[in-house]
Structure 1
């Protein structure tokens, strides 16, 4: 990438690094270093000032409130998530967006849903000297007691991410997660308001999110007085098996007069829409579809209404929770903080409503 095509984020990071080193920056000097116009740097300075990261002065900017924090005072934060695709990248981006204001550096590692790799990644981060860890632990094939026994050996503060943990021992740790059950309720309330009396469910069962979605779905069916509707579990990898499960769902919906469905995830929902089109079933006229997850929902054949997780906000709050915990005196620790954030509903074409 040439200097002229440097992304705003890269310019912002350069500006903030120079502020950390020198306490002030000149717009002309930064423009010369990056090979861009001074007006571009002045616009960057204005954006960073709005975020509270610096203060404008004539010809440049200075650090806010106090001299720039010395590099030695930076806080290193380890982040261990199962995957670098899908649900978690947006959350990590939220952490990254909040990291500059608190002088934190993120070190990201993935576990690939493997207990052994997860443990090694945490050990590596501790060896690197991180001050705290944000962890989305792998739960499949592990009891909460086993998880607790391990996490208690981690010598730095830990914040759990996107996991509902029931044991009182694990409840002693801070956590931040999405209210996935509430997200399912939100979807069914929307479909019920559109006049649907039953809503089918297609669930990607192998994820930690799936039981929470089913819990919210069952609660909403009872509370809204909805009728019984088809439910299918979606397979993990085999595309033929997936198509078979989705075809079975379409047949069951037709047989029971079910004209709405909640599909986890948006990738599976997009495939359902394609198969419906091949079968002559119109979305949303014949079948209303809401996707659970909004990573690629807008790009489906029919843009999908989707339950949209508060990813960036959740990441920012998880980081701030850990920074607060790190700053506390060990002898005067406050009570554990359990943050839960409700998703939103992004209405597009697939449910037959415009909001």
Structure 2
């Protein structure tokens, strides 16, 4: 609680934030949240109305432009993902599209792959009153047991997003994810069907997706009886620091040449696009000399040679995870409802880089 001595601007900021989230606020609720009297809150509402920030109604306030009768508050659902670029924007857009059909609103926060920031973002979302948390957890240093211990302390329902979580401790929670292992199998099967006897793998291996792609690749290679092929662990390749990435990609090209490997899967599509450029510089033609399938399809179609890619079901996954969350929130006895683990299949988007016609 803030208390009676809180500065007016602190109270005003809290009141306006609740109004943004819910569309209407009760003076009694705000007073309880801040630990101040209702008289103080009503005075704040008058001041904010005079400043043109809200409209007073009996017992509280509504946002400007809202219907004259305050509507029931919507369910706000917090979403914490590692990044607002690359893989997750399509998923979030799917959630947002699905939210418009019901009285829900997505409140997005990012963790930047930092576990301490992730926990703070969840705390912030709980503090502003979200009814549930959709979480793509960072798993760089903590174990699944440690993750389960923390998530059990969150006072609202939690649904995991885009993580294959193995421990029994986490099995009690709902989850929705892309079957990335199956996506890698789709890519290997496609290249094998084009006549390739070996399929290399170049993998940005510092993501939770990477082990699943590696697993699917190995499974398909064994099942189809393909030859052993080069593997490369790739660095991120930040803008302005491309040299380590270029060195790794050139080494991968050289390994493919030495082993007569003429097909490869490359994660991510950004790494695959750079591989095409480096191959061109070395006189290696894509797809004539090297067929490439990118894993991820954020910018694959914009590469120098448009990239065949494994395309995650981003919007569909976002809509599904939001449905799971809203049903979990609405369940009268949440503990009595069985946990759901939804896995969605990616598709192969065929373009020019694999040597076949879409």
Q: Provide TM-score, normalisation by structure 1.
A: 0.80
**SS of match in other structure, 1:163:** coil
The reply to whether residue 295 of structure 1 matches residue 298 of structure 2 is yes
The structure 1 residue matched to 2:331, chosen from 328, 332, 340, is: 328
Question: Where does 1:174-323 land on structure 2 (aligned, <5 Å)?
Answer: 174-237=174-237, 238-323=241-326
Question: Where does 1:1-355 land on structure 2 (aligned, <5 Å)?
Answer: 71-237=71-237, 238-330=241-333, 333-355=336-358
**SS of match in other structure, 1:203:** strand
| Aligned length, in residue pairs | 289
Cα distance in 2, alignment partners of residues 142 and 193 from structure 1: 41
Maintained 8 Å contact 2:328/2:334: no
Deviation at 1:335, TM superposition (A): 0.6
Cα distance in 2, alignment partners of residues 114 and 279 from structure 1: 38
- Specify the structure having the higher radius of gyration (Cα): 2
Deviation at 1:102, TM superposition (A): 1.7
Cα distance in 2, alignment partners of residues 71 and 96 from structure 1: 20
Cα distance in 2, alignment partners of residues 87 and 261 from structure 1: 21
**SS of match in other structure, 1:72:** coil
The ranges of structure 1 where at least 4 consecutive aligned residues each deviate by more than 6 angstroms after the TM superposition are none
Cα distance in 1, alignment partners of residues 286 and 308 from structure 2: 11
Cα distance in 2, alignment partners of residues 120 and 105 from structure 1: 20
Cα distance in 1, alignment partners of residues 86 and 265 from structure 2: 18
Deviation at 1:70, TM superposition (A): 7.2
Per the alignment, residue 39 of structure 1 pairs with none
**SS of match in other structure, 1:340:** strand
Structure 2 runs not aligned, ≥5 long: 1-22, 25-68
**SS of match in other structure, 1:303:** coil
Deviation at 1:74, TM superposition (A): 1.2
Q: Provide TM-score, normalisation by structure 2.
A: 0.79
Deviations 1:45-86 (A, max 9, x none): xxxxxxxxxxxxxxxxxxxxxxxx973241110000000001
Maintained 8 Å contact 2:181/2:214: yes
Per the alignment, residue 48 of structure 1 pairs with none
Deviation at 1:235, TM superposition (A): 1.2
**SS of match in other structure, 1:120:** helix
Cα distance in 1, alignment partners of residues 137 and 72 from structure 2: 30
**SS of match in other structure, 2:309:** strand
**SS of match in other structure, 1:92:** helix
**SS of match in other structure, 1:71:** coil
Deviations 1:255-308 (A, max 9, x none): 111000000000000000000000000000000000000000000000000000
Per the alignment, residue 53 of structure 2 pairs with none
Alpha-carbon distance change, 248 to 332 in structure 1, aligned in 2, over 3 angstroms? closer
**SS of match in other structure, 1:169:** helix
What value does the CA root-mean-square deviation take over the aligned residues?
A: 1.5
Alpha-carbon distance change, 84 to 251 in structure 1, aligned in 2, over 3 angstroms? same
Cα distance in 1, alignment partners of residues 196 and 77 from structure 2: 47
**SS of match in other structure, 2:77:** strand
**SS of match in other structure, 2:72:** helix
Deviation at 1:333, TM superposition (A): 2.6
Cα distance in 1, alignment partners of residues 334 and 232 from structure 2: 51
Cα distance in 2, alignment partners of residues 197 and 142 from structure 1: 40
